[in-house]
Structure 1
Amino acid sequence: MGIAAPEINFSDLSNKPADSVRKLQESPSRTLLVHRRGGEEDLVLTTASRAREVREVVSTTTALFVALMQHSESVRDLVTEVMPKAFPWVKFLPREDMQAFVVELVQTLEAADSLGTPAPVTQLISEWQHTAEVHADPRLLAILQEDGEDFGDVPAPGATGS
């Protein structure tokens, strides 16, 4: 892990902006953790140059990983073998599903990087983790594998049935 960012309260940011900027500039990570009240999510304040650097590192790492995965089948096999180190829950997936996760992850990393957003990657990981949770629970897996009647489309939350 890196160096922890200095922390300030949101009120300090608005009441003492010069002090807040000084703390940001003196921070080795060039970031500040800004605490908010009332259950609101905390914020991370950083410099524009630091944000560009982080984006460059993520983009370069993604490009390298995608290139390696596209290079050869042996690299894809190796990545599939080491996946449990990064995502321990993949051990509950059947091997074919683990391989499908690796392929989807690479494709999604590349596409998300082209948009400059990590949201599709975190969504994909969450979806595959939920799939692993089903495989980890034999009772739930058995229920979901049973033949049953299809009740059609599920209405959107809050929608009323007709």
Structure 2
Amino acid sequence: MTAVETSLSDLLNRPKATLATLRVARRIVLRRRGAEDLVLTTAARAEQDHEVMGVISHMLVEMMRTPAGRSLVLDVLPAAFPWVRYLPAHEVREFSVELFGALGAATELDNTAAVAQLITEWRHTAEVHADPELYAALITGSGEDFGSAPLPELRNRAVH
């Protein structure tokens, strides 16, 4: 069993019984109405996950340092990210270099947010390439330009 789902109310009302689930499950997913769900795990399991991801990231980054490794990565990238098939070959290479650079940095920072953002950005680039009309409109600039977009408002952002 890898994860058990329960509500935040269950944890608050029956904390011992809910947390006892961690003996057999790696994680407890706490479902919350109107808010992002939470995940609970033990510190030891979180450290194991971090260590494994760090080793995998370092191995992949080191693979990219060799021609054979880069070739292998380019061969398997479409299986991991099927949408790269819509990218031109030079952009697939660029994506792979950026991805593994970001993975290396994320491991050092213990924060994968930048990797997730990079994948999202490249997926959107592939979506543009997959749609001939959209691609043509962007390349020719035939669409209407509405000017600069306003900056988003920062709401109660605390800096620690």
Deviation at 1:106, TM superposition (A): 0.7
Distance in 2, matches of 1:157 and 1:139, equals 29
Distance in 1, matches of 2:9 and 2:141, equals 57
Deviation at 1:5, TM superposition (A): 1.2
Q: Percent same amino acid at aligned positions?
A: 46
Distance in 1, matches of 2:130 and 2:72, equals 24
> Which residue pairs with 2:118 in the alignment?
124
Equivalent residue for 1:32, pick from 20, 24, 28: 28
> Which residue pairs with 1:14 in the alignment?
12
Relative distance call for 1:17 and 1:73 in structure 2 (3 A) is same
Deviation at 1:41, TM superposition (A): 1.9
Q: Secondary structure at the match of 2:3?
A: coil
Deviation at 1:147, TM superposition (A): 4.6
Deviation at 1:7, TM superposition (A): 2.0
Query: What TM-score do you get using the length of structure 1 for normalisation?
Result: 0.86
Query: What TM-score do you get using the length of structure 2 for normalisation?
Result: 0.87
Distance in 2, matches of 1:74 and 1:54, equals 28
Question: Deviations for 1:71-95, whole angstroms, at most 9, x for unmatched residues?
Answer: x112212211221000000000000
Matched residue pairs, number?
152
Equivalent residue for 1:89, pick from 69, 73, 83: 83
> Which residue pairs with 2:157 in the alignment?
none
Unpaired segments of 5 or more residues in structure 1? none
> Which residue pairs with 2:136 in the alignment?
142
Root mean square deviation of aligned Cα: 1.8
Q: Secondary structure at the match of 2:64?
A: helix
* More divergent stretch after superposition (94-103 vs 142-151): 142-151
Relative distance call for 1:95 and 1:13 in structure 2 (3 A) is same
Relative distance call for 1:26 and 1:79 in structure 2 (3 A) is closer
> Which residue pairs with 1:44 in the alignment?
39
Deviation at 1:157, TM superposition (A): 4.0
Distance in 1, matches of 2:103 and 2:61, equals 8
Unpaired segments of 5 or more residues in structure 2? 154-160
Distance in 2, matches of 1:157 and 1:41, equals 21
